[in-house]
Amino acid sequence: MLRICVMLFGIVLLLGCGNAPVQEMSDARQAIAAARNAGVTATNSPDLYAAQAAIERAELHLQAQEYTRARLAALQAKRHATAALTGVQRGTPGAAGVPSPASAAPPR
């Protein structure tokens, strides 16, 4: 009985991996949009730049029906977008136009 349960669980896991990562793609897009709405741009945040590159990779993998790779790239995009948003919320120097202490100092 235990063997049958383990086999069924394995089959369910394999079937679950074959689906398009709709939720992950949506989460990543929403995280990127939230960062942009907070004023983060790709030119002033390496994290947002990386997030945009990752979501583009995810879309290419999705078109090629490489769902596992698409899911991983979407998760990476969400992580980078969240880091960009966190950076601007914390006022991290260099994040989303927040001046670094060196650039905020008056010229001598």
Task: Give the model confidence (pLDDT) of 42-57 as tens digits.
Answer: 999 999 999 999 999 9
- CB-count exposure of residue 24 (10 Å: 0-12, 13-18, 19+): buried
pLDDT range class, residue 1, cuts 50, 70, 90: confident
- In angstroms, how far is CA 67 from the centroid of its own chain? 16
57 to each of 12, 75, 90, 92, how far by Cα in Å? 27, 11, 28, 27
Domain parsing of the chain, residue ranges: 19-93
Given this model, what pLDDT does residue 80 score?
97
Is 19-93 CATH 4.10.830?
A: no
CB of 51 within 8 A of CB of 32?
Answer: yes
